[in-house]
Amino acid sequence: MLAVPQDLKKGAAMEVWAQGREASASSTRERSEVMAVVRDDMRAPLLGLEAVLDALAGGRFSPEVTERMHGHSRVLARRVSMLVEDLALVATPLAHTPPLSVRTLELDQQLAECAASFPDMVIHVTGDRRLLVRADALRVQQICANLMRNAQRSSGRPVTIRVSGLHDLVSLRVSDAGPRDGYELSIVKRLVEAHGGMTVHDVSGAFTFTLPRAAGAQAVCA
């Protein structure tokens, strides 16, 4: 057996160390860039929320207008809340699994909440109804919000979410899910994988992800 010279061993070890350090620096740089983008995305809803609150504080409106403005402020506050969660997740190294508080959720309700958070978008939900999933409610909203923002970034076309209940999982296919290079999809993939699910981004632009299905109410085909 040929002996490997010590200087070659040291050289190989140094090369591996240098590659690891370079990869770590690249990952840190990418996280910093995404965090800067998320912070920029927070500005519009924050400014909008400030404007609505100033208007409510300084003006007298009819009950109908006041209610609409309160509703708009709730939407803006929810968007800021989701972006804060994104910022916290992006700041966490990829090797760390996002914390989850898993329970049984009604998927219809989760999708309805998502649509209500984007009243400026046309969102159609089709397929199976009355499905239950085992997931973290906050993370499900975070997944949906990122998919809607990514779709909104690319076009103003309606988005269709088709739900399919399989044996032990639920598949959600989002049409016109937006560009592949958006930071939103990297967040979605990370959260879906934390739930034990998988993601597929078709050439057509559709994005499919899965969540674990919970036993419960019989699914109804819509």
DSSP 107: H
Residue 93: pLDDT band (50, 70, 90) is confident
Q: Is 198 helix (H, G, I), strand (E, B) or coil?
A: coil
Which one, of 87, 48, 85, 52, lies nearest residue 66 by Cα?
A: 52
pLDDT, mean over the chain: 86
Q: Where in the chain is the domain with CATH 1.20.58?
A: 6-90
The tokens of 85 are what?
């969660």
Bridge pairing between strands 169-174 and 159-165: antiparallel
Distance, CA of 124 to CA of 111 (rounded, Å)? 10
Which pLDDT score is estimated for 80?
A: 93
CATH class of domain segment(s) 6-90 = mainly alpha
Please tell me the total number of residues recorded for the chain in this structure: 222
Please give the structure tokens belonging to residue 154.
Answer: 């690319």
CA distance 167 to 169: 6
| Residues 44, 46: Cα–Cα separation, whole Å | 5
Pair 213, 132: CB distance under 8 Å? yes
Residue 32 pLDDT > 80: yes
As annotated, the residues of the chain forming the CATH 3.30.565.10 domain(s) are 103-221
- Which tokens is 56 given? 């409510």
The CATH superfamily label for domain 103-221 reads Histidine kinase-like ATPase, C-terminal domain (3.30.565.10)
Per the model's pLDDT, the better-predicted residue between 54 and 104 turns out to be 104
DSSP secondary structure letter of residue 94: T
User: Pairing relation of β-strands 123-129 and 159-165?
Assistant: parallel
- Tens of pLDDT, residue by residue over 39-63, are 899 999 999 999 998 898 887 888 8
